[in-house]
Amino acid sequence: MSNILIIDDDFASCRTLQLHFKSQGHNTIMAHTADEGLDQARSTPPDVIILDIEMPGRSGLEALPDFKRSLPEVPVLMITAFDDMDTTIQAMKSGAEDYIRKPIDIDEMDNALAHALLRIDSENKSTLFADEEGMESGANTMVGRSRAMQDVFKTIGLVAQKPVTVLITGESGTGKELVARAVHRSGNYPSGPFVAVNCAAIVETLLESDMFGHEKGAFTGAVNRQAGKFALADNGTIFLDEIGELSPSVQAKLLRVLQEKEYIPVGGREPRKTNARVIAATNVDLDERAREGRFRDDLLYRLKIVTIHLPPLRERRKDILDLVKTLLAKINRELGTPNGVCRIAVDVMDALVRYSWPGNVRELENMLMKAVALCTGDTITRDLLPDFLFYAEASKNNGRPEAIPADEQSLQDIEKAHIARVLESTNWHRGRTCQILGVSRPRLRRLMSQYGLESPRHNIRELDDWNGG
For residues 351 and 293, state if they share a domain.
Answer: no
Domain range for 348: 343-466
Is 141 a member of any domain? Answer: no
For residues 391 and 443, state if they share a domain.
Answer: yes
For residues 302 and 205, state if they share a domain.
Answer: yes
- Can you give the three-state secondary structure of the chain, one letter per residue? CCEEEEECCCHHHHHHHHHHHHHCCCEEEEECCHHHHHHHHHHCCCCEEEEECCCCCCCHHHHHHHHHHHCCCCCEEEEECCCCHHHHHHHHHCCCCEEEECCCCHHHHHHHHHHHHHHHHHHHHCEEECCHHHHHCCCCCCCCCCHHHHHHHHHHHHHCCCCCCEEEECCCCCCHHHHHHHHHHCCCCCCCCEEEEECCCCCHHHHHHHHHCECCCCCCCCCCCECCHHHHCCCCEEEEECHHHCCHHHHHHHHHHHHHCEECCECCCCCEECCCEEEEEECCCHHHHHHCCCCCHHHHHHHCCEEEECCCHHHCHHHHHHHHHHHHHHHHHHCCCCCCCCEEEHHHHHHHHHCCCCCHHHHHHHHHHHHHHHCCCCEECHHHCCHHHHHHHHECCECCCCCCCHHHCCHHHHHHHHHHHHHHHCCCCHHHHHHHHCCCHHHHHHHHHHHCCCCCCCCCCCHHHHCCC
Question: What is the domain-level CATH number for residue 179?
Answer: 3.40.50.300
Work out the mean pLDDT of the chain and round it to a whole number.
Answer: 83
- Which of the residue ranges 23-27, 183-187, 215-219, 317-321 would you say has the lowest mean pLDDT? 215-219
For residues 116 and 162, state if they share a domain.
Answer: no
Q: Is 396 left (phi over 0), alpha (psi -120 to 50) or beta?
A: alpha
Q: Which residue has the higher pLDDT, 467 or 3?
A: 3
For residues 74 and 181, state if they share a domain.
Answer: no
Question: What is the domain-level CATH number for residue 35?
Answer: 3.40.50.2300
Q: What is the pLDDT of residues 33-53, one digit of tens each?
A: 999 999 999 988 899 999 999
Count of domains observed in the chain: 3
For residues 285 and 402, state if they share a domain.
Answer: no
Is 139 a member of any domain? Answer: no
For residues 441 and 402, state if they share a domain.
Answer: yes
For residues 185 and 285, state if they share a domain.
Answer: yes
Q: What is the pLDDT of residues 112-136, one digit of tens each?
A: 888 788 777 766 544 555 444 444 4
Residue 420 has pLDDT above 90, yes or no: no
Q: What is the pLDDT of residue 390?
A: 79
